[in-house]
Structure 1
Amino acid sequence: MRSNEREWGARWEHAFEADPAEGKEKYYQTVAFPYPSGAMHVGHGRTYIVPDVVARYQRMRGKQVLFPMAFHVTGTPVIGISKRISNGDKKTIGLYRDLYRVPQDILDRFINPMEIVRYFSEEYRRVMQKCGLSIDWRRRFITVDPQYSKFIEWQYAHLQEEGHVVKGAHPVKYCPQCENPVGDHDLLEGDKAEIIRFTLVVFHLGDARIPCATLRPETVYGVTNLWVNPTVTYVRAMIDGEEWIVSKEAAGKLALQDHEVLTTEEVPGTELIDRAVSHPLCGEIPILPATFVDPDMGTGIVMSVPAHAPFDYIALRDLQQQGKYTAIRPVPLISVDGYGEIPAKDAVERAGIRDQNDPGMEALTQEIYSAEFSRGKVFEKYGGKPVKEARDDVAALMMERYGSIPMYEFDNRQVICRCGSRVFVKILHDQWFLEYSDPCWKEQVKTQLERMTLVPAEVRAEFNRTVDWLKDWACTRRVGLGTKLPWDPTWIIEPLSDSTIYMAYYTIAHHLKAIPPEKLTPEVFEYIFKGEGNPDTIDRETLDRIRSEFLYWYPYDYRFSAKDLISNHLTFQLYHHRAIFPQDLQPKGMVVFGMGLLNGAKMSSSKGNVFLLEDALEEFGADTVRMFLVGSAEPWQDFDWRNELVSSTKKQIERFWNTVAETKQADGASSIDVWLESRLQRRIENTTRALDSFQTRQALQEAFFGVEADLKWYRRRLPGDVSGGAVMQDLCRTWVRLLAPFIPFTCEALWAEIGGKGLVSFAPWPEVDEARVSQEVELAEEFLARTVEDIESIRKLIPIEPKSISLFVAPAWKHEAFRIIAASADKTRVVREIMQNEEMRKRGREATDAAKQITKLVLKLPPDLVKQLQESSLDEQAVLEGARQFLEREFGVPVTVQNAGESTHPKATAALPFKPAIVIE
């Protein structure tokens, strides 16, 4: 098998280079290009092998398929890796030396970030080729190529002209170590963290201010106390010229958020306990102790609203059960259906919460917050508005009159830069932003989403949610690899912002490699992509040829990527397409992948929980890896790599190889051949339908396991002196083609072995031959197979060896009853419908008893089978009589077949349509 991989890998070297073909339907698919900063693991394998299966399938369907690949290297990740290696970071060096197995002489060169890029981009290409990916490698580029940078410059000049790039001050993820804003691709941890805007409610303690961060400013009227952690040392700090008391951590964060901060002295938390503070909207309240308060969250001091916050209610109750602060009572201010006057108390007591350490507290808090926000209403004396309106109103009031200010935090996640340093929220000034908040732009993207095919359909809601909440995006950095902003070259365009329309660049990348970058002016790209202008740096003939290729391939048909990119890249690229290209060049569809698990746990290179793709290829072989990755789950489902399951996949391919190899000389014919031919047409039809819907697992179930199951039954049904008919040769030629997209190395070798012309990668996909479809023959075999199963089940229950088997088939009147029941819309009234039939009325109780049994049978059988039986005139007795020799050979005893209506045997009355009565004696 391994020799097959080397041989066919060499023969495919240039086989999948796709050029425009006049009169031939194109199929252009892309996949998120990788960031080559480490070795590929099996999760990456699934990301690229699934699209390859689709590309190979569409190629066999006769389409001109473009499947390109490039490498994303801009931003700071490789710079961070390089710095850590330069600084002797043992964890990073160990990761690259031990897990990724980078030779020491090469690792020594990783102090230069571009050496990391060069090494791993070549590594990725080599491993991708080893996987058998049918990629057009002529179009390969990296995102720091000068030609690509010219393309990005044109894109951003265009976006600025359209007013989509603006300058301003916004909160962003920021690494103080790198002195740079960071995006998700720049992070080791916290790539899903969102920036949340809190309102600081300012309480007064003498001349000092004590701010509390809250997402629920409307609850200030119900504050009964503040919580301070007595084990924490706080600080007094002059913030914007006023004295505040906050945690040390909060002082540092506020300094990054447009505030002048000067720490003056430390304040032990114990000194604040039992002090009184005040706020105009809730009056004077005490400060109580609470070790659950996190100094690294908000300001490190928390306002307590026990009527509406379960954590506050339970913490206060815990103290009061110790005989402390018994005079404090919750102050309700929000009414919400389904809860009592004090919602937090009601929820806590109903849930049986023991104390503040109860694991159910987090979920209970979310339950109350969601209920109050969605359907809660503040009391009349506090304004009487719905909570969702009161929240903004009260926040505005406190900002205007009571000294409140915003503070930004992450949503309870620690965020770590690839350099190893912690990331904070910083307000950046003079930063360039993509104005994704623009309502007109948002509406354009939503309209485009409605026109697109999204797989699976459920992700549409997630895309729309992302568009709704998406805010302005910091699109530039001061440091990192990448393209400089054309009109402000002190900034570099960040990674998620320079990878939005590269799908268009793929279509012409191989042409641009031969053109000096200085000739690629904005006017050149304007002409290539929009047909506008009159550039003079490149001759018109060349420009027209390049534009023609772009127009042949674009728009892309499908883009494949992981579901965690919906919240950024996959949505960003829709914004940029809408801004730059006309409607007829907008994306057509996207397929969103699930995540990869290794032995049940999420794969993570940084945590070492990965199985390297190359190791998998070496241990199991490329086709085994491919078959497992596309067949263990549908693309949008999470998959779990387990070596023992992969090993069984290898054995399945070996069975396939042996079956095809053994049937080259098959000859002769048998009556069961007609059934096998018909079943094969079903497998072709179902595999094709599944692949058209990107259901690679279902397609493999049909193309491999389905055909294998059919062959097993076929061989079982063959007369004892026949090993297989000539139909097997036709089946094998079809079977090899059905499996070629999944296990191409094996199928290329078998295709040559059985005399197929050319590469199976370009052989025509099997088409259904309706003339070979016989529903009656298939139904007859289904009936026989089910009967055999029933006989086997009964035999297992009989302790002695049987001497004979009698089969009683249902009489005609029961078949008529079956049709009536199957057609009935209300199965609870079928007995009444049955008794409207004259013959059934004559049979009286016999008919009603049979109707009940037939109804159970109809509900148990697959709906498609029930429909076939309704329309069929299957002669069950003839089927069983025709298979009597087979049955006697199977069970080693005489078999008799009778019509139950003509028998006096007491068990004959149990015969039902498609389920004969069985008597074993």
Structure 2
Amino acid sequence: MRSNERECIIRWEHAFEADPAEKEKYYLTVAYPYPSGAMHVGHGRTYIVPDVIARYQRMKGRQVLFPMAFHVTGTPVIGISKRIANGDEQTIGLYRDLYRVPQDILDRFINPMEIVRYFSEEYMRVMQKSGLSIDWRRRFITVDPQYSRFIEWQYGHLHEDKHVVKGAHPVKYCPQCENPVGDHDLLEGDKAEIIKFTLVVFQWGDARIPCATLRPETIYGVTNLWVNPATTYVRATIDGEKWILSAEAAGKLALQDHEVLVTEKIPGTALIDQTVAHPLCGEITVLPATFVDPDMGTGIVMSVPAHAPFDYIALRDLQQQGRYTSIQPVPLISVDGYGEIPAKDAVERAGIRDQNDPAMEALTQEIYSAEFSRGKVFEKYGGKPVREARDDVAALMLERYGSIPMYDFDNRQVICRCGGRVYVKILHDQWFLEYSDPCWKEQVKTQLEEMALVPPEVRNEFDRTVDWLKDWACTRRVGLGTKLPWDPAWIIEPLSDSTIYMAYYTIAHHLKAIPPENLTPEVFDYIFFGEGSPTTVERETLDAIRNEFLYWYPYDYRFSAKDLISNHLTFQLFHHRAIFPPELQPKGMVVFGMGLLNGAKMSSSKGNVYLLEDALEEFGADTVRMFLVGSAEPWQDFDWRNELVSSTRKQIERFWNMVGEARQAEGAYAIDAWLASRLQHRIMSTTAAFDSFQTRQALQEAFFGVEADLKWYRRRLPEGASGGAVLQDLCRTWVRLLSPFIPFTCEALWSDLGESGMVSFAPWPEVDEAQVNPEVELAEELLERTVEDIESILKLIPMEPKGISLFVAPAWKHEAFRIIAASTDKTRVVREIMQNEEMRKRGREATDATKQITKLVLKLPPDLVKQLQVASLDEQAVLEGARSFLEHEFGVPVTIQDAGESTHPKASGALPFKPAIVIE
């Protein structure tokens, strides 16, 4: 670690401990980590972006609270501990080789709490090394007894208000752990959804053959069944009836409230060419299909070739071999944009060769979506829209034709952190958070309307999540966590105990001094609601704790990843609405994009990570911070690439050197006023970007913008001059503008500039209107654009130039520019121009100039066009004043003329703010 980094960490040890004060507060939180492995650069971005915002708000004069804790409840560390205890080489290798856990400590990981202790300390150390300005007094882990009392209090209220109910629901379940699991408990399949299928039951002799479908309304168009001849199926007694299905399906049904007894095996070949029947489609034949997956549904598929592209193409493939030619598609749904047989129409239009064509998946989704959204079943089948017929037919099958529901995942394998396969199980006597409650949903929707969401487009995703969210199994039988207060045989699961801990942060440091047995529900009622008269804690202490809570709450912004919208971020809104009054509801959320490593998604379990500590050691904390914040806006995905990070380190070195060179500058130069004015714009733009959470844009303005201004400033200085005293003011401002991004570097420079205290608490720069000089800035922009145009032309000329002539546009073209710029309809602007008497006299010359000026207006930045509309810039005087600069730049004589007074054939090309250029 670099010496200045060590010094800063020591100086910052208690610097960011935030207590209530007589100033505006700013409370931001970020999802607390699960410390089961080392931090990687993706974690770094998650915590560094909020830190940059916290540091900015602190410099803006607000009292900032940025707390941190560690989430350890649930089963993940238990699963890790078991795998290590069982000698799992992959897990041991991950912790020994990737995370570099010392062997003596790794040996202790057979105790899950040893994993928690080790990595929570590691997280804190690496976070400090990253420069996070956290109030560490408030640190806790989610198995602390004080925190458990807080969770018990929360669930007591949820239960009392009937938001927690007992019932039977399908949940993700790990038979190996004998526990329901949530997304955070999974190694694979964290996005898998539980889908409800209808089992359509066909009769074959005395046995039933079930097919799982999401489209029961298509039963009228079933022409055959598909069976995989390479699969061995089973005969099983399901709830006392004889069924034939895959062994995998039998196992799944056994978890879903069905008595299942497998009696014998039956080869798939024994079913081929057999005749089965259903009352709604009659007798049909069983055909062979190797594409049928025994692990999907029941391993037997009903075929609707008129409306399912896969079925159509598979049947066509067989018929091209001369087999089953008598089977024809049976259409039953009409849909605009397709012929009588939609699947055939779509397949032939797409030029599909066979069932292995990669375009088949998309084509299937296209047909299914079209038929569901605008399809209608034929009159003889009821004539209803497909979206209505689907539910009606499903209900009919369940009532009359022996169908039952079956639950499974949406084409994804789901793996628990213990390594076991996860299935869908119907749980009984389980406790659920009743997120399906329409009244509760409406409360959350109302809250969302009042919140600031960044970026705004995530609002739709939140709304969708609230709409489809179903009851959530909130308890487990095993794992770390808080016991359900009224039913202690259950433990509250991880996503359910991490919903309002933002409120706990505000008082966590106080509660550490109170014995957990004294933290009764009445104590929390007083702290959060001001109700009751608890006796287990002194009133004076309670009042101090309550006042601190009220000072900080509600939180201002929560930062978290976009993949948590579907669970945690929405859950916490439900719980806030259930527990706290309207004035204490969350104010805003910032949703992050995902992290990539060399273009691929980061994954600790797959080893595709770059450890944050390795990055800090190789590049330095400020380089890591600057890259993670500057490579993308918070809501955009970012891609860590070492070669790009190396270039970021060079940028910080340039900054260090430029401040070192500039801090002793003295004297005064004509260009100083321009630099001082530009600096005010950089302050304004950086501040505006920060206020919109555009941290990348803020860095662009604060670093690259100021650097570009300095480069032009030095170029415009007289030969041999190093700069004026304006550079000293710029350095003090520049260091403060970059302090949120690269605080280690800026603390050292702040001291070198002779300033006292820490730059982390220095006031944020404010715009000095007296130094804003639009005329000077406009003049320099004209000059800079002219220089760029000359340079572009010189690159195209093979000979050495002997002289440069610049022709500035006459006054009438400036008047035309103002008319064009003010026009709301640029397609009719020629007519507007020719209404001007002077323009009319000029005839074709004015018409041609209008077209050229219109193109220029559309090309220039809108803000610049607005300035030029009202400015009275004497372009000839500006360029005459810079003649010596231009001649020094290009090493040839330069002349400046009014194009209106010149007979040179190229003078007529002069436009406002774009002189005509002639190279001799």
Q: Please tell me the TM-score bracket, short chain as reference.
A: over 0.9
Q: Which residue of 2 aligns with 1:405?
A: 404
| Counterparts of 2:378 and 2:690, CA distance in 1 | 57
Instruction: Report the equivalent of 2:502.
Output: 503
Q: Which residue of 1 aligns with 2:99?
A: 100
Q: What does residue 895 of structure 2 align with?
A: 896
Q: Deviations over 1:832-885 (max 9, x none)?
A: 111111001100000101111111111111111111111111111011001101
Q: How does 1:838-853 map to 2 (within 5 A)?
A: 838-853=837-852
| SS of structure 2 residue aligned to 1:28 | strand
In structure 1, what is the Cα distance between the partners aligned to 2:769 and 2:387?
Answer: 61
SS at match of 1:200: strand
Structure 2 match to 1:665:
664
Using the TM superposition, give the Cα deviation of residue 343 of structure 1 relative to its aligned residue in structure 2, in angstroms: 0.9
Instruction: Give 1:16's aligned amino acid.
Output: F
1:802 offset after TM fit, Å? Answer: 0.7
Map Cα deviations across residues 143-187 of structure 1 (whole Å, 9 max, x no partner).
Answer: 000000000000000000000000000000000000000011111
Give 1:310-389 correspondences, 5 Å limit.
310-389=309-388
Structure 1 equivalent of residue 632 of structure 2: 633
| Structure 1 vs Structure 2 CA RMSD | 0.6
Q: CA deviation at 1:722?
A: 1.5
**Residues 447-596 of structure 1 mapped to structure 2, 5 A cutoff:** 447-596=446-595
- Displacement after TM superposition at 1:756 (Å): 1.5
| Residue 22 (structure 2) pairs with residue 19 (structure 1) | no
Q: Identify the residue that residue 114 of structure 1 maps to in structure 2.
A: 113
1:88-145 superposed Cα distances (whole Å, 9 cap, x missing partner): 0000000000000000000000000000000000000000000000000000000000
Distance in 2, Cα, partners of 1:72 & 1:885 = 66
Q: Read off the aligned partner of 1:2 and give its amino acid letter.
A: R
SS of residue paired to 1:75: coil
Q: What is the alpha-carbon distance in structure 2 between the residues aligned to residue 125 and residue 461 of structure 1?
A: 35
Deviation at 1:757, TM superposition (A): 2.2
Distance in 1 (alpha carbons) for counterparts of 2:337 and 2:873: 59
Q: 1:907: which partner in 2? A: 906
Equivalent in the alignment of 1:801: 800
Per-residue CA deviations over 1:816-842 (Å, capped at 9, x if unaligned) read 111111111111111111111100110
1-structure distance, mates of 2:219, 2:870: 71
In structure 2, C-alpha distance between the alignment counterparts of 1:349 and 1:641, rounded to whole Å = 44
State the Cα deviation string for residues 745-773 of structure 1 (Å, max 9, x = none): 00000000001221000000000111111
| Distance across 1 between alignment mates of 2:912 and 2:19 | 58
1:3 alignment counterpart: 3
Match of 1:878 in 2: 877
Q: Between 129-138 and 377-386, report the one with greater CA deviation.
A: 377-386
* C-alpha distance in 1 between matches for 2:197 and 2:864: 59
Equivalence map 1:32-431=2 (5 Å): 32-431=31-430
Distance 1:588 1:343 in 2: 49
Q: Which moved more, 1:802-811 or 1:851-860?
A: 851-860
Letter in 2 for 1:523: E
The 3-state SS of whatever aligns with 1:430 is: strand
Amino acid at match of 1:10: I
For residue 891 of structure 1, what is the amino acid of its counterpart? F
Amino acid at match of 2:744: F
Give SS of 1:533's match: coil
- 2:670 counterpart SS class: coil
Matched to 1:325, the amino acid is Y
Tell me the distance in 2 between the aligned counterparts of 1:353 and 1:582.
59
Report the AA paired with residue 17 of structure 2: E
Distance 1:426 1:809 in 2: 80
Secondary structure at the aligned position of 1:173 is classed as strand
Q: What is the distance in 1 between the residues matched to 2:151 and 2:565? A: 22
Q: Deviations over 1:450-501 (max 9, x none)?
A: 0000000010000000001000000000000000000000000000000000
Per-residue CA distance 1:201-229 (angstroms, 9 max, x = gap): 11111111010000111111111111000
Q: Which secondary structure does the structure 2 equivalent of 1:906 belong to?
A: coil
Name the aligned partner's letter for residue 38 of structure 1: G
AA at the equivalent of 1:160: H
* Distance in structure 2 (CA, Å) of the matches to 1:914 and 1:54: 39
Alpha-carbon distance in structure 2 between the residues aligned to 1:659 and 1:427: 66
Q: How many residue pairs end up in the alignment? A: 920
Q: How much has 1:800 moved relative to structure 2?
A: 0.9
Q: Structure 1-normalised TM-score?
A: 1.00
Give the partner amino acid of 1:638. D
* CA drift at 1:779: 1.1
* Runs (4+) off by over 6 Å: none
Structure 1 Cα separation of the partners of residues 691 and 754 of structure 2: 28
Distance 2:380 2:726 in 1: 85
What amino acid is aligned across from residue 345 of structure 1 in structure 2? K
CA distance in structure 2 between the partners assigned to 1:25 and 1:590 by the alignment: 19
Shift of 1:721: 3.1
Which 10-residue stretch deviates more, 139-148 or 331-340?
331-340
Rounded Cα–Cα distance in structure 1 between residues aligned with 2:307 and 2:705: 57
Deviation string, structure 1 residues 283-337 (Cα, Å, up to 9, x no partner): 1111110000000000000011111111111111111111111111111111111
Give 1:486's aligned amino acid: P
Q: Secondary structure at the match of 2:802?
A: coil
The equivalent of 1:730 in structure 2 is: 729
In structure 1, how many angstroms separate the alpha carbons of the residues matched to 2:139 and 2:335?
58
Match of residue 714 from structure 2: 715
Q: Secondary structure of the residue that 2:906 maps to in structure 1?
A: helix
1:171 match: secondary structure: strand
1:861 aligns with 2:860: yes
- Following the alignment from structure 2 to structure 1, what is the Cα–Cα distance between the partners of residues 775 and 438? 59
Query: Structure 1 unaligned runs (5+)?
Result: none
Q: Distance in 1 between matches of 2:734 and 2:258?
A: 70
The letter for the 2-side match of 1:262 is L
- Distance across 2 between alignment mates of 1:813 and 1:110: 82
* DSSP 3-state at the match of 1:119: helix
> In the TM superposition, what is the alpha-carbon distance from 1:777 to its structure 2 partner?
1.1
- Residue type of the partner of 2:230? T
Amino acid at match of 1:584: E
Q: Does 1:759 align with 2:754?
A: no
User: TM-score w.r.t. structure 2 length?
Assistant: 1.00
Distance in 2 between the 1:125 and 1:91 partners?
A: 26
- CA distance in 1: counterparts of 2:156 and 2:888, whole angstroms: 80
> Residues of 2 paired with 1:248 and 1:286: CA distance?
22
Please give the alpha-carbon distance, in whole angstroms, between the structure 2 residues aligned to 1:683 and 1:378.
63
State the 1:587 CA deviation.
0.2
**Cα distance in 2, alignment partners of residues 876 and 321 from structure 1:** 79
